[in-house]
Amino acid sequence: DAKTTQPNSMESNEEEPVHLPCNHSTISGTDYIHWYRQLPSQGPEYVIHGLTSNVNNRMASLAIAEDRKSSTLILHRATLRDAAVYYCILSQTASKLTFGTGTRLQVTL
Amino acid sequence: NAGVTQTPKFRVLKTGQSMTLLCAQDMNHEYMYWYRQDPGMGLRLIHYSVGEGTTAKGEVPDGYNVSRLKKQNFLLGLESAAPSQTSVYFCASSYHDEQFFGPGTRLTVL
């Protein structure tokens, strides 16, 4: 399976944009980039996913590099409720997800 | 819709005891999964099912058994619990593009 690399932790101020990076230099042509997040004491929840083009939904935006070797999850205005561990996962389908240790996002006032 | 529910929320077992964790989903999803999460780590897949009556091994299946007799339910069994099975267990179901997770079961084996 292709591997992803994420920073262990990041900090952000509330109401500021947050850019969470993910490197995946060995991504294959059929791998989708999935993002999940896990709030404290909860199960993970889906955030967004994409293949080649940038994607937007109500929660976030996903910017994918042209060579697909990296991507960035963008939270447009971080709130305290966005404090969580964010996982970047490569998979051809939603049924084959391998979770790493992710990026712990802290949001401060 | 309740989504994915898990029973129980907490449990303490003694070494050698057995128990069953129940996962239920009301979204008519074909795929269901059991994961475990140890402190400071990501989730690891124990077993999964691609439909009623089917099960398959994941990354860490040893010491666990599963059954999927009904489409909406996925049971995880520990026949003889060991302290190494102390963990938080998450169930999930999926349809097409995303997995939906339950709230977790915190299991401690003494």
The reply to whether residue A43 touches residue B44, judged by beta carbons under 8 angstroms, is no
Distance from CA of B89 to the nearest CA of A (A): 9
Distance from CA of B72 to the nearest CA of A (A): 17
Backbone angles phi, psi at B100, to 5 degrees: -115, 125
Identity of the residue in B31, B42, B92 whose CB atom sits nearest the CB atom of A87: B42
Q: Write out residues in chain B with pLDDT < 70, as ranges.
A: none
- Statement: residue A44 has pLDDT above 90: yes
DSSP string of A3-54?
--B--SEEEEETTS-EEEEEE-TT--TT-EEEEEEE-TTS--EEEEEESSS-
Please report which confidence band the pLDDT of residue A94 belongs to, taking 50, 70 and 90 as the band edges.
confident
The reply to whether residue B104 touches residue A43, judged by beta carbons under 8 angstroms, is yes
DSSP string of A67-90?
TSSEEEEEESS--GGG-EEEEEEE
C-alpha span between B75 and B25 (Å, rounded): 12
pLDDT in the model for residue B95 = 84
Residue given tokens 């003889």 in the structure block: B80
pLDDT in the model for residue A1 = 61
Beta carbons within 10 angstroms of residue A63's beta carbon: 16
pLDDT in the model for residue B84 = 96
The reply to whether residue A43 touches residue B103, judged by beta carbons under 8 angstroms, is yes
**Which positions in chain B touch A42 (Cβ < 8 Å)?**
103-104
Which of A9-18, A43-52, A95-104 bottoms out in mean pLDDT, i.e. has the lowest?
A95-104
The reply to whether residue A101 touches residue B99, judged by beta carbons under 8 angstroms, is no
Amino acid at A95: S
How do residues A13-38 score in pLDDT, each as one tens digit?
999 999 999 999 999 999 999 999 99
- Statement: residue A2 has pLDDT above 80: no
- DSSP SS3 for B84: helix
pLDDT in the model for residue B2 = 84
β-strand pairing of A55-56 with B19-25:
unpaired
- Statement: residue A60 has pLDDT above 80: yes
Contact by Cβ (8 Å): B6, B22: yes
Share of chain B above pLDDT 90, in %: 92
